[in-house]
Chains A and B, each alone.
Chain A
Amino acid sequence: MKRDCVILIAEQNEEHLNLMKNGLLHAGVNNDIVHFADGRQTLDFLFDITQKSDGELEGREYILFMDIDLPQVGGIEILEKIKADNMLSKVPVIVLAAADEPKIIDRCYDLGCCTYIVKPAEDEAFRQSITKIGNFLTVVEMASLR
């Protein structure tokens, strides 16, 4: 992951957001983070990107951490919309959710999520999981949006 890849986090739980930021920092991930507290904001931001010119998008990379349970627009619907868009479909989506139901998990993979992680109930375990994800992302290449 390049230093200028922007990390998008769609998460309504403030505490979880802070644990995620902290976990990423522990992995040495200092990339810019943009946070959305609901699904509408997430979609608005993403679809604004699609309006940008090729020049503005040159080399732009994003990755999205997303909860399923989001106000206004849920995570599944966001995933549907992202993966149906030619440009946004290249953005890897890591689902981090409380739901541990095979139906939801299968649906997310069917739509093209990168990975599905059930949030550990305990804060420290959650933060450590994020650090491991962060360490992994340091060796992953993202696609530029143009």
Chain B
Amino acid sequence: MNKEMVILIAEDDAGHFQLIKKNLWLACVNNEILQFKDGRQILDFLLDSGDGTHLDDTKQYIVLLDVRMPRVDGLEVLKKLKENDRLRKIPVVMLTTTSESSMIEQCYDMGCSCYMVKPVDYHRFMKAVQNLGKFLSLEGLRLPSIG
């Protein structure tokens, strides 16, 4: 695993965020995790707009993105990211309750790396995030540089 990998999680549901964070940790993901409560916040971070913290060129990023979020939704975030020459390399994993095939197709069309549907069952949700975590912990996983 890349030690300098930072996991950006755009998730408006505080309970889901805690569950994701906890289960990534249970899967031995010890990387820095940043939470964004809506699409606007993560876009501000990625596009160096707004007053908060911004992207650090020396680090590598992966985005976990919910679809339904206030202000700016996940589709808009994905679109903006993939339109941007510098940011489009960043892998985006959709993590959402939406399981309609048209949404899945649209996200792949727009360039998401993977699309995960949040299982409704608590234990299956935990297991799914842990599977993601073990994947992110793979020693051979490489991420793009954005510098």
A-B interface pairs (CB < 8 A), number = 92
Q: Is the interface of B mostly helix, strand, loop or mixed?
A: mixed
Beyond A114-B113, A114-B114, A132-B134, list 20 extra A-B contacts (CB 8 Å): A105-B142, A105-B144, A106-B144, A109-B89, A109-B90, A109-B91, A109-B144, A115-B113, A117-B140, A118-B140, A125-B139, A129-B139, A135-B135, A136-B135, A142-B104, A142-B115, A143-B101, A143-B107, A144-B101, A144-B105
Interface size classification for chain A: 20 to 34
Nearest chain A CB to B134 CB, angstrom units: 5
Task: For B113, give the chain A residue with the smallest CB separation.
Answer: A114
Instruction: Supply 11 A–B pairs (Cβ within 8 Å), ascending by A.
Output: A105-B143, A109-B90, A114-B91, A116-B143, A117-B141, A129-B138, A135-B131, A136-B131, A140-B114, A143-B107, A143-B109
Q: Is the CB of A117 within 8 A of B116?
A: no
- Report A-chain residues with C-beta under 8 Å of the C-beta of B132: 136, 139
Chain A interfacial positions (CB closer than 8 Å to B): 89-90, 92, 100, 102, 105-106, 109-110, 112, 114-120, 125, 129, 132-133, 135-136, 138-144
A112-B111, A120-B139, A143-B109 known; A138 and B131 CB under 8 Å? yes
- Report B-chain residues with C-beta under 8 Å of the C-beta of A102: 145
Task: For B146, give the chain A residue with the smallest CB separation.
Answer: A106
Nearest chain B CB to A136 CB, angstrom units: 4
Interface size classification for chain B: 20 to 34
- Report A-chain residues with C-beta under 8 Å of the C-beta of B59: none
Q: Is the CB of A129 within 8 A of B117?
A: no
Task: For A126, give the chain B residue with the smallest CB separation.
Answer: B140
Q: Which of B99, B135, B144, B145 contacts A141 (CB 8 A)?
A: B99
A133-B135, A139-B116, A140-B114 known; A110 and B89 CB under 8 Å? yes
Q: Which of A118, A132, A144 contacts B135 (CB 8 A)?
A: A132
Bound-complex Cα distance A54 to B89 (A):
31
* B46 contacts chain A at the CB level, 8 A cutoff: no
Bound-complex Cα distance A142 to B101 (A):
9
- Report A-chain residues with C-beta under 8 Å of the C-beta of B107: 143
Task: For B109, give the chain A residue with the smallest CB separation.
Answer: A90
A92-B108, A102-B145, A115-B91 known; A140 and B116 CB under 8 Å? yes
